[in-house]
Amino acid sequence: MESVRGVLIDIDGVLTVSWQPLPGTVAALREIRDAGLPVALVTNTTSRTRASIAGTLADAGFPVDAGNILTAPAATAAHLAGKLPGARCLLLNHGDVAEDLAGVTVVADPGEDVDVVLVGGAGPEFGYAALNRAFGHLQRGARLVAMHRNLYWRTDHGLDLDSGAFLAGLEAAARTEAEVTGKPSPAFFAAALDRLGVAPDAALMVGDDVESDVLAAQRAGITGVLVRTGKYLPETERAASGTPDHVIDSFADLPALLGPRDATR
């Protein structure tokens, strides 16, 4: 695959599970970087900032820093700055990502009027009162913006429910459709390609979510690679809306798929 000049990589379920490296992934990423291929880690994780993610991955041995990482909250901040500057937001999210939401006005008093209901990753915060409060704002005309619409993710104890399940209910109840800023948004992939400085047909995306990671990337003109780790389920692949360009058992197998590289090119 000599045409590949940059690699987009999901983190959770591809490189790590519960932030612990999957077998062979550290060595594989080092091999890819040593071959001179630029990488961007593209994640819908909404519980940690880019700096926190980079620190955790670097401590585990991955050759990355914050500049290699694009998060859904960072993409959301750029989206709101461009499309809804100054919007007052009700944030429904698990984890502190204020650093990556720089410039976003988050309303502290849940009783205040807001322009946007901003949905991040699920956690204990997604109780009835919070969801009903968000529903009320949507009925009064607030826009619904979601950092992603993942239904679940893989942890070290199994699959955990994510905010996409709640988002679908809010959309149906409020008769609206969320603007999604993370994967599978085309704008998210475009931002990642800009970060790498490569064209879509020279990039490759590796993910464990066949729809949001792989097929969404393919619709953007990027070669898609599905890994059989993380949230991957055979039945999900069979029921998918398309066929991945490549399917491998693990990210550890990616260097072999890419083939020999000339790091001087």
Q: What number is the average pLDDT over the span 187-197?
A: 92
Give the pLDDT confidence of 105-161 residue by residue, as tens digits: 999 887 789 999 999 999 999 999 999 999 999 999 999 999 999 999 888 888 899
Task: State pLDDT tens for residues 159-168.
Answer: 899 999 999 9
Look up residue 178 and give its DSSP letter: P
Q: State how far the Cα of 215 lies from the Cα of 226, in Å rounded to an integer.
A: 9
Which pLDDT band holds residue 206 (cuts at 50, 70, 90)? very high
Residue 264 confidence class, pLDDT cut points 50, 70, 90: very low
Region 189-202: what's the mean pLDDT? 94
What mean pLDDT do residues 36-44 have? 95
pTM of the predicted model, to two decimals? 0.85
Query: What is the model's pLDDT at position 265?
Result: 46
Residue type, 209: D
Q: Which residue has the tokens 């459709």?
A: 177
Q: What is the pLDDT of residue 9?
A: 98
Provide φ and ψ at 165, rounded to 5°.
-65, -40
pLDDT exceeds 80 at position 8: yes
Distance CA 81, CA 248 (A): 38
Place of tokens 């959770």: 12
Q: Helix, strand, coil: what percent of the chain each, to 5? A: 35, 20, 40
In the three-class reduction of DSSP (H, G, I as helix; E, B as strand; rest coil), residue 43 is classed as strand
**Per-residue pLDDT at 177 exceeds 70:** yes
Of residues 126, 172, 117, the one with CA closest to residue 146: 117
Pick the closest to residue 47 from 188, 162, 205, 127 (CA basis): 162
Nearest-angstrom CA–CA distance, 262 and 265? 6
Give the tens place of pLDDT for each residue, 47-99: 899 999 999 999 999 999 999 999 999 999 999 999 999 999 999 999 999 99
Please give the sequence-ordered ranges of beta strands (E in DSSP) within 25-111, or none if there are none: 39-43, 69-71, 88-92, 105-106
Distance CA 261, CA 43 (A): 26
